Amino acid sequence: MSTQKPRFFSPPDPHVFQAQVWRLVRQIPEGQVITYGQLARLIPPPDGVPLESYQAMAPRWVGSALSRCPPGLPWQRVLAAGGKISLSGQAGQRQRALLEAEGLAFDARGRVDLERYGWQGPNRDG
């Protein structure tokens, strides 16, 4: 099995962090996507969190924040590394359907082309 018990901790200030995540997700243009890890790198590590630990755990923090995202957020535009959908089952199919409705194309492995659809962040918006 490639799955093992996931263990991770929350950021020092979960509310602050999730607000950062939501703020960024809100800015992702329609038809574009970003990965959990990429999104995490747009947020500076909280005080007391070594960069090494942050890079390891932040993507999961992003996922956790996304699981609690308020209605209206384009949460479907956040994908796992490699342009894959992380959600499984019906939720995953719903995410794919939403992205396809925005014009994104999935390959045979269920991945999107990050080179083509990837959003580089608010500073690269253009």
Query: Residue numbers of the site for DNA (CB under 7 A)?
Result: 1-2, 4-10, 14, 35-37, 53, 55-57, 59-60, 62-64, 66-67, 69, 75-76, 78, 80-81, 84, 86-87, 91, 95
Q: How many CA atoms lie within 13 A of 52 on its CB side?
A: 0
CB-wise, 2 or 126, nearer to DNA? Answer: 2
Smallest gap, in angstroms, from Cβ of residue 88 to DNA? Answer: 8
CB-wise, 98 or 126, nearer to DNA? Answer: 98
Q: How many Å apart are CA 73 and CA 19, to the nearest integer?
A: 12
- Is 62 within 8 Å of 78 (Cβ atoms)? yes
Smallest gap, in angstroms, from Cβ of residue 29 to DNA? Answer: 18
CB-wise, 48 or 126, nearer to DNA? Answer: 48
CB-wise, 31 or 55, nearer to DNA? Answer: 55
Smallest gap, in angstroms, from Cβ of residue 67 to DNA? Answer: 3
Q: What share of the chain is helix, strand, coil (3-state, %, to 5)?
A: 50, 5, 45
Q: How, if at all, do strands 78-79 and 34-35 pair?
A: parallel
Q: How many Å apart are CA 22 and CA 65, to the nearest integer?
A: 8
